Chain A
Amino acid sequence: MKRLFAWLMLAFGMAYFILPLVGLTEFSLSMRRGEYSFDAYRAVLADPRFRDTFSYSVVMALVTIAFGILLVVPTAYWVRLKLPGLRPYVEFVTLLPLVIPAIVIVFGYIRLYNTSSWLPLTGTTTGTNLLLMFGYATLSLPYMYRAVDTGLRTIDVATLTEAAQSLGAGWVTILARVILPNVLVAVLSGAFLTFAIVIGEFTLAALLNRPAFGPYLQLMGANRAYEPMALAVIAFGITWACMGLIQLVTRFSKHTKAAR
């Protein structure tokens, strides 16, 4: 009785997840009347704007990840090692992007860094790109910080640091060659999550007027019928791949640890 109810509950929930994805895929395949075809995908892949916006978003995601690692790993490491009293405060700040809606943050950027301000980032293309990157880093901060901090919890930071120091290593060496390899799995799962967030992000890119994948998707959705569905399938595939890679990396690391 209980088990039947559990199966029913699970089946209902799974239907809720799967039905929209089936609908999406079916729609994306039915561009040609009466039969399934990949016409929508072909049209999308041939569109130069797709290639431009998609590669723009991929580059943005990679730069954001690099910046995020450079910012978060030393900070989380330092807080754990030297400033444990600050941990609750730093953690609180990293969770703020979940509290303050992205649209409010970007509104603040536009007001604070416009052309007539003290730091006119939105005045130039490079500046706006930089601002967008900082915005993405802010959005992914809760996930990145939590992932890295959890990773640091599993290793003995103090002992590793002292061992490296007594062998004559400086701070950069310690971070790059001792700490980072030890929390690589955590860093990677944070990185994949960041990638999944940045690649389809709409609000920031649209309001800062950058040619990213998210606004392009929205624009296609407003003007075409089948192509946006194909794009959404691709976007879902990327999210799925990122989560799959997180799983894979985590499992792989458990395996190597068990073998030791």
Chain B
Amino acid sequence: MTAIPSAPPRRRLSLTWLGIVPFAVFALLFLILPTMNIVLGAFRNAAGEVTFDNIRGLFTTSILNSYWISIKISVASSLLGCVIGFGMAAAVVLGGLPRWIRSPVLTFSGVASNFAGVPLAFAFMATIGPRGLLTLWLMDQFGINLRAEGFTILSFWGLTITYVFFQIPLMILIITPALDGLKREWKEAANILGASGPQFWRMVALPILFPSLLGTFALLFANAFGAVATAYALTGSSMSIVPILLFAQIRGDVLQDPHLGYALAFGMIVVTGIANGIYIWLRVRSERWLK
């Protein structure tokens, strides 16, 4: 190999790079530069000078509250999504259900995880809204008045329940391959050593799955944190979660300081960035076992 003269390969290399140029230009123009623009804008004032005032402007009670509500909704919906989704995936993969059930569940998960946004908000409005199917049914059959119990769809729980609809299927889609990766030999080995079912789960399966579970949780969190359309269609501007605040800010409805918008967006990038960083890191760890 050392005998090959170095000049021709180098020239070919320079041509090889051309193949990636369209993609690089596209990514730069429509993904990286716009994001950089926001990030840099968060640290600039109207005159273009470097400042931390915008970031400091985030630390007011109302904005911190919106971040807090957003984080709470994202955590709650991801937790519920993880638990229910994991339960369903485990039921399908390990629960001894007929084999034909697996494919429809996965297909349905594919549909449901993509059925987010405005239509999803309408579906829950029609179900647990003031005149929704479930609301009326509970009223007729059991005399339970959800509104009198303090539940409205325009609340923390209303949004959380709605988000869980796309969190469960996402969890199923991501965790099923991980469950498939649990080797039958491990279960048999544990049985031979005298482990009971719960012991196998507690001491073998869950520790192996733990990185996948936590990683998927982080992904679901980021997924919920950035969602705008569902919340906006459900609540309008009445629920002040961060994406809605930013939406209103871009539209020019509220907040006088435009650079606060940059800071809001920057805060969102930081939160989802951390969540996704955790996801990627844990995914690499978990793939060591599940091969």
CB within 8 Å of B: which residues of A? 2-3, 5-7, 9-10, 12-13, 16-17, 19-24, 26-28, 71-72, 74-75, 78-79, 82-83, 86, 90, 93, 96-112, 134-135, 137-138, 141, 193, 196-197, 200-203, 206-207, 214, 217-218, 221-222, 228-229, 231-232, 235-236, 239-240, 242-244, 246-247
| Docked-complex contact A103 and B226, CB < 8 angstroms | yes
For B108, the chain A residues whose CB sits under 8 A away are 17
Known: A10-B88, A23-B123, A108-B35. A82 touches B117 (CB 8 A): no
Q: How far is the CA of A54 from the CA of B31 in the complex (A)?
A: 27
Q: How far is the CA of A243 from the CA of B112 in the complex (A)?
A: 10
| Docked-complex contact B34 and A112, CB < 8 angstroms | yes
| Docked-complex contact A101 and B250, CB < 8 angstroms | no
| Docked-complex contact A108 and B118, CB < 8 angstroms | no
Of residues B30, B88, B105, B276, which shows the largest number of chain A Cβ atoms within 10 Å of its Cβ?
A: B30
Nearest CB of chain A from residue B24's CB, rounded to whole Å: 9
| Docked-complex contact B35 and A7, CB < 8 angstroms | no
Q: How far is the CA of A20 from the CA of B233 in the complex (A)?
A: 16
Give the contacts of B13-27 with A (CB-CB under 8 A): 16-17, 19-20, 22-23, 26-27
For B31, the chain A residues whose CB sits under 8 A away are 93, 96-97, 100, 105, 138, 141
Q: How far is the CA of A62 from the CA of B38 in the complex (A)?
A: 30
Closest chain B residue to A230 by CB distance? B122
Q: How far is the CA of A244 from the CA of B19 in the complex (A)?
A: 34
Main secondary structure, interface of B, reads helix
- Other-chain residue from B20, B110, B232, B272 in contact with A78 (beta carbon distance below 8 A): B20
Nearest CB of chain A from residue B111's CB, rounded to whole Å: 5
Give the contacts of B199-244 with A (CB-CB under 8 A): 219, 222, 225-226, 228-229, 232-233, 236, 243
| Docked-complex contact A108 and B110, CB < 8 angstroms | no
Other 6 A-B pairs with CB < 8 A, given A104-B226, A107-B265, A218-B232:
A5-B95, A101-B268, A104-B268, A135-B30, A201-B229, A235-B119
Known: A93-B27, A214-B117, A221-B122. A246 touches B110 (CB 8 A): yes
Surface stretch bound by A, among B125-133, B143-151, B176-184: B125-133
Any A CB within 8 A of the CB of B114:
yes
Show 28 residue pairs from A and B whose CB-CB distance is below 8 angstroms, ordered by the A residue: A3-B96, A6-B94, A6-B96, A10-B95, A17-B169, A21-B123, A23-B124, A23-B126, A24-B126, A27-B126, A75-B19, A96-B31, A96-B32, A99-B269, A99-B276, A101-B268, A101-B269, A103-B243, A103-B265, A104-B38, A108-B33, A109-B34, A214-B117, A217-B118, A217-B233, A229-B122, A229-B126, A231-B122
| Docked-complex contact B20 and A134, CB < 8 angstroms | no
Q: How far is the CA of A100 from the CA of B19 in the complex (A)?
A: 26
**A-B residue pairs, 10 tightest by C-beta:** A108-B34, A6-B95, A101-B226, A23-B127, A23-B133, A6-B91, A27-B126, A78-B19, A202-B229, A232-B119
Any A CB within 8 A of the CB of B41:
yes
- Other-chain residue from B20, B33, B37, B168 in contact with A83 (beta carbon distance below 8 A): B20
Closest chain B residue to A209 by CB distance? B251
Nearest CB of chain A from residue B252's CB, rounded to whole Å: 11
Of residues B84, B121, B228, B272, which shows the largest number of chain A Cβ atoms within 10 Å of its Cβ?
A: B228
Q: How far is the CA of A244 from the CA of B104 in the complex (A)?
A: 10
Q: How far is the CA of A7 from the CA of B96 in the complex (A)?
A: 9
Known: A3-B97, A105-B34, A196-B114. A19 touches B91 (CB 8 A): no
For B165, the chain A residues whose CB sits under 8 A away are 16-17, 20
Known: A5-B91, A231-B119. A98 touches B222 (CB 8 A): yes
Q: How far is the CA of A96 from the CA of B226 in the complex (A)?
A: 13
Any A CB within 8 A of the CB of B192:
no
| Docked-complex contact A108 and B37, CB < 8 angstroms | yes
Any A CB within 8 A of the CB of B92:
yes
For B191, the chain A residues whose CB sits under 8 A away are none
Bitwise interface map of B from 80 to 98 toward A, beta carbon under 8 Å scored 1, else 0: 0000110110111011110
Q: How far is the CA of A203 from the CA of B107 in the complex (A)?
A: 26
